[in-house]
Amino acid sequence: MAFDPLRERGIPLDEQPRDWRALDVPPIDPDHADPYTRCRIIAMNGIETEAIFFSHHLARHCPDTGLRQELAKVRSIEAQQQKAVNWLLSGVSSVLETTLAYEQTAVELTAWVARMEPDATLRQAYQFGLLEHVDHLYRYANLYETLEHRGADKIVDGLTEVMPGRPTSLHHRDPMDNVREPYRKRTTEPLSRLHALTVMAVEQQTMNFHMTAGPMFAEPAARRLYQEVALVEEGHVTHYESLADPGESWWEMLLNHEYNECYLYHSFVETESDPRVRSVWELHLAMELEHLRLAAELFKRFDGRDPDQVLAPACPPPVTFEPNRAYLRDLAATQGERTTLGTGYVEGVHERFQRAQETIMGGEPAPSQRVVEDNRAVSGQEYVLETEGPRPAGVTRA
């Protein structure tokens, strides 16, 4: 029988707070853990962080003190969940190694969403951003080899290819061309709402990580690359957040957030290979079921509708981290020259794109270009990790 979060019982809210001992979760061993376990951790950290941010924004627009107190109680649990999840990552990994894991997460998660997305317009939005994360992974892999003299296969373990995507230097567009047309809440399938929220949350998490990690480096090449990619990630967040219908009410958005957390925790319970980490997903799922119940009550109270009018009757098939090599190669071969114009897409450059390029480049090579050149000088060649067949013809190394 399909899993329906609205029909399941969770842990009562008053029983959910944990003490320091319970929150002090042992981290995974980065040298022996399944790379996709690390991807699931990074993804859920982004989801929990978005849940906290959203709850804060909702509270700032809520005039009722009692409701703000209800939101604060749930938010405090979300904050504990976020700490438990993020602290599963090990401090043994360098900042660059964690960055490679972040980019692997973005590549594989966005690829899965793009493959499963039923709406062609939304699918194109995910494919477009995906091809840019492919290139970010490639650029950071070259920086990693230059600075730490190791190959990125230590992190991605052959599951994700490291190859050029759409060159990062071409990701700098006029900000108005990062805004997409939103889906329509009355006609969009529930799965599409979950996809949009998931990818936006993980992109936001990636943007915040790059903004925070960049100044931790002393090496100029690293500082410049993180700054460049952080600017691109801001455009990605704009790109994905604009997909949601702005006509959704606060209570509808809250309902979607809580349902999405249940969906993702359930997905990872079903697919997690590490029993200890799976136990964290199971506990958090039981907590989120109660958060969803409370959000559903607020939705019925303030929107006057039944949650079944908005949500899927049962969870869709589990979100799965898996290799997407052939899919990524096909995208690189067919969409490598694509850019945006207004809310649509075009092949090749246009006047507004060229103006934006001239402004951001200032007549100098992009840091993302220089890291590959630097690695060629140090290592004798650029770093790529291709596990099957030749590189697609549409991929360039700008």
Position 395 scores a pLDDT of 45
Task: Give the integer Cα–Cα distance in Å for 41 and 76.
Answer: 19
Task: Give the integer Cα–Cα distance in Å for 98 and 108.
Answer: 15
Give the model's confidence band at 304: pLDDT under 50 very low, under 70 low, under 90 confident, else very high. Answer: very high
pLDDT in tens, 345-398: 999 899 999 999 999 999 899 999 999 999 999 999 999 997 655 444 444 445
Using DSSP bridges, classify how beta strands 338-341 and 344-347 pair: parallel, antiparallel or unpaired: antiparallel
pLDDT in tens, 77-132: 999 999 999 999 999 999 999 999 999 999 999 999 999 999 999 999 999 999 99
- Looking at residue 87, its amino acid is W
Task: Give the integer Cα–Cα distance in Å for 214 and 232.
Answer: 14
Position 396 scores a pLDDT of 46
| 302: Cα separation from own chain's centroid | 30
Helix (H) or strand (E) holding 144: helix 120-148
**CA-based angle 237:243:245, to the nearest 5?**
125
Please, are residues 94 and 147 in contact by the beta-carbon 8 Å criterion? Answer: no
Q: Evaluate if residue 226 carries a pLDDT over 90.
A: yes
Mean pLDDT of 214-228: 97
- Taking alpha carbons only, the member of 44, 38, 79 closest to residue 285 is 44
The helix/strand/coil state of 339 is strand
Mean pLDDT of 220-226: 98
For tokens 């589990």, what's the residue?
Answer: 318
Query: Global pTM?
Result: 0.96
Position 386 scores a pLDDT of 79
Position 392 scores a pLDDT of 47
Task: Give the integer Cα–Cα distance in Å for 95 and 216.
Answer: 8
pLDDT in tens, 33-72: 999 999 999 999 999 999 999 999 999 999 999 999 999 9
DSSP string over 148-189: H---THHHHTTSS-B---S-GGGG---GGGG--PPPPTTTS-
Helix axis angle for 190-213 and 250-271, nearest 10°, is: 80
Which residues pair with residue 347 across a beta bridge? 338
What is the chain's mean pLDDT, rounded? 95
Q: Evaluate if residue 133 carries a pLDDT over 50.
A: yes
Position 388 scores a pLDDT of 59
pLDDT in tens, 20-29: 999 999 999 9
pLDDT in tens, 369-380: 999 999 999 999
Give the model's confidence band at 2: pLDDT under 50 very low, under 70 low, under 90 confident, else very high. Answer: confident
Mean pLDDT of 267-277: 98
pLDDT in tens, 190-218: 999 999 999 999 999 999 999 999 999 99
Helix (H) or strand (E) holding 325: helix 325-335
Lowest mean per-residue pLDDT among 10-14, 274-278, 310-314: 310-314
DSSP type of residue 25: P
Please, are residues 88 and 28 in contact by the beta-carbon 8 Å criterion? Answer: yes
The helix/strand/coil state of 231 is helix
Position 398 scores a pLDDT of 54
Task: Give the integer Cα–Cα distance in Å for 286 and 283.
Answer: 5
Give the model's confidence band at 313: pLDDT under 50 very low, under 70 low, under 90 confident, else very high. Answer: confident
Position 1 scores a pLDDT of 66
Position 390 scores a pLDDT of 46
Task: Give the integer Cα–Cα distance in Å for 36 and 41.
Answer: 9
Task: Give the integer Cα–Cα distance in Å for 7 and 293.
Answer: 9
